Amino acid sequence: MKFGFDIDDTLIDLRKHAFHIYNDKLQMNVGLDIFEALDTMEIHQAFGLTKEEGGKLWHSLRDEIYFSGCSPFPHAREVLQQLVAQGHEVYYITARDREHSERTKMWMIENGFPVAEGHFYCGMSDSEKVHIIANLGLDYYVDDKPKVLETLLHLPTKVCVKDRSYNQHVNLPRITSWQELPELAGLAT
Ligand SMILES: [Mg+2]
């Protein structure tokens, strides 16, 4: 089968990583309880920043956020490696800017994710993901972002949501731990 995955906040814990970097740069000590309770994807409110200030800060720190030590979610790498070992195809579809494509791909490889030639898509808008997913004919696709998930509901692809504080209203099969994916997809573990 063909499996597709978003990267940020689906396979790796990017917002939490950024949250630590914000605390460090702003010399603040905002608690993780605040982070866990955020009902928005953006994290700037937790630091008392406006949308504009938050956007500027994110942009100025983007390389550090993307390419320093962000943690993959538990079991994400192992489960994807297992899929590949079982003969399934794994694709990545990330809306990070195209300028970060090669470096992001290398980061994923260096951090233990299986990335096959031609299976890495980067630099599309949220609304363009649907075309890539449809053209690839994915059997399964997992993302965290409500705005993206909404565009996929007419596809034959089985769409799943990676459980996060800001997507609790999304009514789709939900992956809380990556260990749940094989069973959800009807695979032997
Ligand atoms: Mg995401």
pLDDT < 50: residue spans in the chain = none
The token duo for 165 is 């504080």
* Residue range 2-12+72-184, CATH number: 3.40.50.1000
- Three-state DSSP state, 14: helix
CA 21 to chain centre: 18
Tokens 């399964």 correspond to 140
Q: Is the separation of the CB atoms in 23 and 30 below 8 Å? A: yes
The predicted structure's pLDDT at residue 11:
98
Return the closest-CA partner of residue 12 out of 187, 119, 159, 142: 142
**Confidence (pTM):** 0.96
User: How many other CB atoms are found less than 10 A from the CB of residue 34?
Assistant: 13
d(CA 95, CA 7): 9
Distance 188 CA to ligand 1 centre (A): 27
- The helix (run of H) or strand (run of E) holding residue 135 is helix 129-136
Q: Give the model's pLDDT for residue 189.
A: 63
Question: Which residues have C-beta within 8 Å of that of residue 56, sequence separation ≥ 6?
Answer: none
143 CA to middle of ligand 1, Å? 6
Residue 2 φ/ψ, nearest 5 degrees: -110, 125
Q: Which helix (H) or strand (E) holds 175?
A: strand 174-175
Gap from CA of 121 to ligand 1 centroid (Å):
13
Residue 109 confidence (pLDDT): 98
Positions marked active-site: 6, 8
Gap between the Cα atoms of 170 and 143, Å rounded: 11
State residue 133's pLDDT score: 98
Q: What are the φ and ψ backbone dihedral angles of 168, each rounded to 5 degrees?
A: -65, -25
